[in-house]
């Protein structure tokens, strides 16, 4: 099968991923693999269904947004060959391609694999992309470069069995300083560097926050440690993920994030369970090689073609908002504003060549959907500006109110309620044309999401918007919920925005004008925008904007969403982040058998911790299958273990010398040794064989049966 495209010069584990994806696609196409099971598989390989029928979104996994010029060229080539030629930069520092035919996904992965880019774990219930401050390594405020720690964590969890089939996704973030430019406060794991003196010796560590999140019920992360030594951050993450995997909700999708588990257990209770897992984890200490991500070298010097900018006034504004001196004196960082995060393949290739000529080969994708270039010499800035301007990439206002973040919304997303992108363009026009003096205002930001799930991070914005609708007397009006007061203040404290009012989408530009005019009239001198918001209170802004909500003044244009010409019709699909919906009991048992094969492979490779976790998964999946055959709900691993004891062991349908709880949970009471891995594996094999025997007897009674959707997800 691999002969259809070139797999030369690709790492063995990536080749295995590509061939496996191709085989699953073939099985789905010939009908031997159920659609929902295929969905579960392809999601963890970066292939995500989009709004348009018959095409997919292909998401890469680019840790902390670090990409080389050649990797960007490879992505541009793949997009041009297999998609619509567009690259979309995301708020999680990834690159997505849209309108992909599913059968082309392995070929895309092969192109990217040769460049060292993967899609493994880019979607689905996995540890998602590791995000970080884009300016790590050059940040004048940083205590040390966090890049090696992010990269080490990325590699550690990339194919780690503990995080491939969780109840929901896990999102980590690392900030370079207390300014929290990576927004650690709304992540499952957040790390901020710390140094403390011990007997006169400097020791590195991190402040650790956990269980934050955006979405419909946004929560600020809680502090787990004020200082955790650098060699303990990966062991802590591993132990915490194991707790989340075992105790986390799986049936109710919107309650299946870590923030809800920590809320239900309490921070102390959660951390107690984490401590219980430490005995069993692979590494009690994991010291990161600080040279893993070396400081990049500037491009070899070449004299710039010009030292005169084509537009002096625009150049001066660009210098003010898009350029700053690094901690390495004499070198400059260039921040590139990319409208809506979209860049076409030809422009991406030209941009990559510019990087090769004048910057370090270390491009960072930023959390606000732009690029950051490092180690640019001062005399090259006018030429770089001119070249970027030719590519429409030299607009001033990077990371200011004029740099609006927006998810793709109804352009491609199944879950989106209203359009984000056309509205973002309109609001940027309002700011540039009517409030040009605010283009360098970095204490106000605008973020837009097409729905409440917050891919555009609207709850972390001074002014946030999320897609909604208003129903009135037979009309469905495209709308935006306005939120205010979110983001990180100048002291590095993170806030979740407050809901203010829902307005028809076409009235949002007027709402922005009202807010900005009021800020200019009623804000105190040099007052931070969010301080102005908190001082006046959300009721003030509700009253201020309420006239725009009047339904009796609706006109025909209010019934048409931004970027459309027809009357709005709400069409919301089903999101795929939660994985599969339903399946056959026998197929679930097949998953358990697959885990047995994986535990054997890992054991033979001396990966004893991985082998143990695969054995654990075989126990849980096998027990789940038999519980589902009796229509018993399965919403957490812990619940499965308890219910299997009640419904199978205590009824003596299956017999053990101990309880099922004690049998399975040997996993967190033993070191990850060869001896335990072998013993645990043998017990898992014996258990799965017994599950197969019991299922065979059940099939003799009523044949195979379908599992209803809500019961499957654990």
Task: List pLDDT tens digits, range 264-294.
Answer: 999 999 999 999 999 999 999 999 999 999 9
Q: Sheet harboring 342-344: ordered strands across?
A: 47-49, 56-59, 95-100, 86-89, 342-344
Yes or no: say if 134 and 326 are a contact pair by the CB < 8 Å rule: no
How far apart (Å, rounded) are the C-alpha atoms in residues 505 and 242? 43
How far apart (Å, rounded) are the C-alpha atoms in residues 280 and 243? 12
What Cα–Cα distance (Å) separates residue 653 from each residue in 77, 691, 694? 58, 10, 8
pLDDT for the residue numbered 581: 36
pLDDT for the residue numbered 415: 82
The domain that contains 667 carries what CATH number?
1.20.120.330
pLDDT for the residue numbered 416: 84
Examine the domain organization and report whether 551 and 475 are in the same domain: yes
List, in order, residues 6 or more apart from 667 with CB less than 8 Å away. Answer: 280, 612, 613, 615, 616, 680
Yes or no: say if 322 and 398 are a contact pair by the CB < 8 Å rule: yes
Taking the CA atoms of the chain, what radius of gyration do you get in angstroms? 26
Reported as a single tens digit per residue, the pLDDT across 99-123 is 999 999 999 999 999 999 999 999 9
How far apart (Å, rounded) are the C-alpha atoms in residues 711 and 395? 51
245 within some domain: no
Number of helices followed by number of strands (H, E) in the chain: 21, 22
Examine the domain organization and report whether 327 and 429 are in the same domain: no
pLDDT for the residue numbered 697: 86
Q: What is the 3-state secondary structure (H, E, C) of 112-131?
A: HHHCCCECCCCCCCCECCCE
Examine the domain organization and report whether 433 and 478 are in the same domain: yes
Which residue in 224, 219, 334, 229 sits closest to 275, CA to CA?
A: 224
Region at 355 (left for phi over 0; alpha for psi -120 to 50; beta for the rest): alpha
Yes or no: say if 233 and 250 are a contact pair by the CB < 8 Å rule: no
Yes or no: say if 483 and 458 are a contact pair by the CB < 8 Å rule: yes
Structural domain for 341, as ranges: 312-390
201 within some domain: no
Coil, helix or strand at residue 385: helix
Q: Is the dihedral of CA 232, 237, 242, 248 positive or negative?
A: positive
Helical (H) or strand (E) element with 323:
strand 323-325
Task: Return the higher-pLDDT residue of 414 and 350.
Answer: 350
Examine the domain organization and report whether 550 and 651 are in the same domain: no
Yes or no: say if 391 and 96 are a contact pair by the CB < 8 Å rule: no
Coil, helix or strand at residue 379: helix
59 within some domain: no
List, in order, residues 6 or more apart from 162 with CB less than 8 Å away. Answer: 238, 241, 242, 245, 613
Coil, helix or strand at residue 179: coil
Q: What is the 3-state secondary structure (H, E, C) of 441-486?
A: CCCCCEEEECCCCCCCCHHHCCEEEEEEEEEECCEEEEEEEEEECC
Q: Which of 390, 417, 433 is the last residue of a domain?
A: 390
Give the confidence band of 712 by pLDDT, cuts at 50, 70, 90: very low
How far apart (Å, rounded) are the C-alpha atoms in residues 627 and 571? 36
Reported as a single tens digit per residue, the pLDDT across 128-179 is 999 999 999 999 999 999 999 999 999 999 999 999 989 999 999 999 999 9
How far apart (Å, rounded) are the C-alpha atoms in residues 656 and 667? 17
Region at 428 (left for phi over 0; alpha for psi -120 to 50; beta for the rest): alpha
What would the two tokens of residue 19 be?
């061939």
Least confident of 213-227, 451-465, 510-524, 556-570: 556-570
Which residue in 654, 624, 628 sits closest to 640, CA to CA?
A: 624
What would the two tokens of residue 102 be?
């599913």
Examine the domain organization and report whether 384 and 417 are in the same domain: no
Helical (H) or strand (E) element with 469:
strand 463-472
Examine the domain organization and report whether 417 and 552 are in the same domain: yes
**The residue to which tokens 């197969």 are assigned:** 692
pLDDT for the residue numbered 590: 86
Least confident of 343-347, 513-517, 565-569: 565-569
List, in order, residues 6 or more apart from 547 with CB less than 8 Å away. Answer: none
Q: Which of 541, 559, 577 is the last residue of a domain?
A: 559
333 within some domain: yes
Alpha helices in 378-486 (DSSP H): 381-390, 421-434
How far apart (Å, rounded) are the C-alpha atoms in residues 662 and 291? 43
Examine the domain organization and report whether 590 and 508 are in the same domain: no
pLDDT at residue 250 greater than cutoff 90 = no
449 within some domain: yes
Examine the domain organization and report whether 409 and 548 are in the same domain: yes
Q: What is the phi/psi pair of residue 305, to 5°? A: -70, -25
The domain that contains 382 carries what CATH number?
3.30.70.3340
Reported as a single tens digit per residue, the pLDDT across 184-204 is 999 999 999 999 998 889 999
Separation of CA 510 from chain center: 32
Reported as a single tens digit per residue, the pLDDT across 19-75 is 999 999 999 999 988 887 888 889 999 999 888 888 999 999 999 999 999 999 999
What would the two tokens of residue 136 be?
């790590």
Reported as a single tens digit per residue, the pLDDT across 556-581 is 898 999 988 888 777 655 555 544 33
pLDDT at residue 528 greater than cutoff 80 = yes
The domain that contains 509 carries what CATH number?
3.30.413.10
How far apart (Å, rounded) are the C-alpha atoms in residues 281 and 268? 20
Characterize 529-561 residue by residue with b for buried, 16 or more Cβ atoms within 10 angstroms of its Cβ, and e for exposed. Answer: bbbbbeeeebeebeebbeebbeeeebeeebbbb
264 within some domain: no
List, in order, residues 6 or more apart from 236 with CB less than 8 Å away. Answer: 208, 224, 225, 228, 274
Coil, helix or strand at residue 683: helix
Yes or no: say if 266 and 253 are a contact pair by the CB < 8 Å rule: no
* Residue 295 DSSP class: P
How far apart (Å, rounded) are the C-alpha atoms in residues 119 and 272? 34
Q: How many CB atoms lie within 10 A of CB 211?
A: 26
Mean pLDDT of the chain: 92
Examine the domain organization and report whether 512 and 471 are in the same domain: yes
22 within some domain: no
What would the two tokens of residue 150 be?
């992010």
Examine the domain organization and report whether 338 and 410 are in the same domain: no
Q: Which of 355, 390, 425 is the last residue of a domain?
A: 390
List, in order, residues 6 or more apart from 596 with CB less than 8 Å away. Answer: 614, 615, 618, 684, 685, 688
For the residues 664-674, what does the mean pLDDT come to?
Answer: 95
Give the confidence band of 2 by pLDDT, cuts at 50, 70, 90: very low
Examine the domain organization and report whether 505 and 412 are in the same domain: yes
Strand partners, 479: 468, 504
How far apart (Å, rounded) are the C-alpha atoms in residues 706 and 586? 9
Alpha helices in 523-560 (DSSP H): 529-536, 538-545
* Residue 340 DSSP class: G
**pTM (two decimals):** 0.92
Q: What is the 3-state secondary structure (H, E, C) of 305-345?
A: CCCCCCCHHHHHHHHHHHEEECCCCCEEEEEECCHHHEEEH
Examine the domain organization and report whether 410 and 538 are in the same domain: yes
Which residue in 185, 178, 187 sits closest to 146, CA to CA?
A: 178
248 within some domain: no
- Please tell me the total count of domains within the chain: 3
Q: Is 138 exposed, middle or buried (0-12, 13-18, 19+ CB in 10 A)?
A: buried
């Amino acid at each position: 099968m691999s002969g259809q495209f070139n797999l030369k010069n690709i790492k063995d584990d990536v080749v295995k991923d590509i061939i496996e994806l191709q085989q699953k696609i073939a099985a789905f196409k010939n009908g031997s693999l159920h659609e929902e099971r295929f969905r579960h598989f392809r999601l963890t390989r970066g292939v995500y269904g989009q709004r348009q029928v018959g095409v997919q979104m292909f998401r890469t996994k680019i840790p902390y947004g670090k990409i080389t010029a050649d990797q960007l060229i490879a992505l541009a080539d793949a997009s041009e060959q297999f998609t619509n030629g567009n690259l979309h930069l995301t708020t999680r520092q990834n690159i997505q391609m849209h309108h992909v035919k599913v059968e082309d996904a392995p070929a895309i992965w092969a192109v990217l694999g040769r460049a060292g880019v993967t899609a493994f774990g880019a979607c689905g219930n996995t540890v998602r992309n590791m995000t970080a401050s884009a300016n790590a390594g050059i940040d004048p405020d940083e205590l040390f470069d966090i890049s090696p720690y992010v990269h080490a964590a990325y590699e550690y969890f990339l194919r780690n069995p503990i995080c491939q089939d969780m109840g929901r996704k896990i999102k980590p973030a690392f900030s370079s300083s207390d300014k929290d430019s990576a927004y650690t406060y709304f992540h499952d794991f957040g790390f901020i560097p710390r140094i403390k003196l011990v007997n006169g010796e400097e020791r590195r560590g991190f402040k650790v926050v956990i269980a934050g999140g955006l979405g419909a019920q946004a929560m600020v992360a809680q502090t787990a440690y004020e200082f955790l030594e650098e060699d303990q951050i990966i062991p802590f993450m591993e132990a915490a993920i194991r707790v989340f995997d075992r105790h986390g909700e799986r049936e109710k999708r919107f309650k299946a994030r870590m923030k809800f588990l920590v809320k239900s257990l309490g921070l102390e209770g959660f951390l107690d369970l984490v401590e219980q897992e430490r005995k069993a984890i692979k590494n009690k200490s994991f010291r990161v090689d600080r040279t893993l991500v070396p400081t990049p070298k500037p491009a070899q010097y070449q004299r710039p073609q010009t030292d005169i900018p084509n537009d002096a006034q625009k150049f001066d504004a660009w210098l003010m908002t898009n350029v700053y001196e690094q901690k390495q004196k004499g070198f400059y960082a260039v921040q590139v504003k990319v409208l809506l995060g979209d860049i076409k393949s030809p422009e991406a290739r030209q941009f990559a060549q510019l990087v090769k000529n004048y910057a370090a080969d270390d491009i960072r994708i930023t959390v606000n959907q732009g690029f950051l270039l490092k180690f640019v010499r001062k005399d090259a800035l006018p030429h770089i500006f001119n070249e970027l301007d030719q590519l429409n990439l030299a607009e001033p206002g990077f990371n200011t109110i004029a740099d609006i973040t927006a998810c793709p919304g109804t352009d491609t997303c199944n879950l989106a309620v209203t359009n984000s992108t056309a509205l973002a363009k309109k609001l940027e026009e309002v700011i540039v044309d009517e409030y040009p003096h605010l283009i360098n205002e970095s204490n106000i930001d605008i973020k837009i999401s097409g729905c409440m799930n917050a891919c555009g991070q609207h709850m972390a914005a001074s002014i946030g918007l999320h897609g909604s609708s208003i129903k009135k007397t037979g009309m469905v009006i495209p709308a935006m919920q306005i939120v205010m007061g979110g983001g990180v203040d100048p002291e590095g404290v993170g806030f979740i925005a407050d809901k203010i009012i829902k307005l028809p989408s076409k009235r949002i530009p007027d709402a922005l004008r009202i807010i900005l005019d009021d800020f200019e009239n009623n804000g105190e001198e040099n007052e931070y925008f969010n301080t102005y918001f908190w001082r006046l209170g959300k009721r003030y802004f509700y009253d201020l904007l309420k006239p725009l909500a009047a339904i009796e003044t609706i006109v025909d244009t209010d019934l048409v969403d931004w970027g459309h010409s027809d009357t709005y019709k709400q069409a919301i699909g089903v999101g795929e982040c939660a994985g599969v919906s339903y399946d056959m009991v026998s197929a679930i048992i097949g998953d358990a058998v697959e885990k047995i094969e994986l535990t054997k492979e890992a054991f033979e490779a001396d990966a004893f911790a991985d082998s143990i976790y695969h054995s654990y998964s075989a126990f849980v999946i096998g027990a789940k299958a038999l519980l589902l055959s009796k229509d018993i709900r399965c919403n957490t691993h812990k619940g499965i273990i308890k219910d299997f004891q009640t419904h199978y062991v205590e009824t003596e349908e299956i017999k053990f010398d101990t309880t099922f709880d004690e049998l399975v949970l040997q996993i967190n009471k033993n070191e990850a040794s060869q001896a335990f891995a072998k013993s645990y594996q043998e017990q898992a094999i014996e258990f799965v064989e017994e599950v197969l025997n019991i299922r065979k007897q059940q099939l003799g009674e009523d044949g195979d049966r379908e599992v209803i959707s809500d019961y499957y997800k654990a």
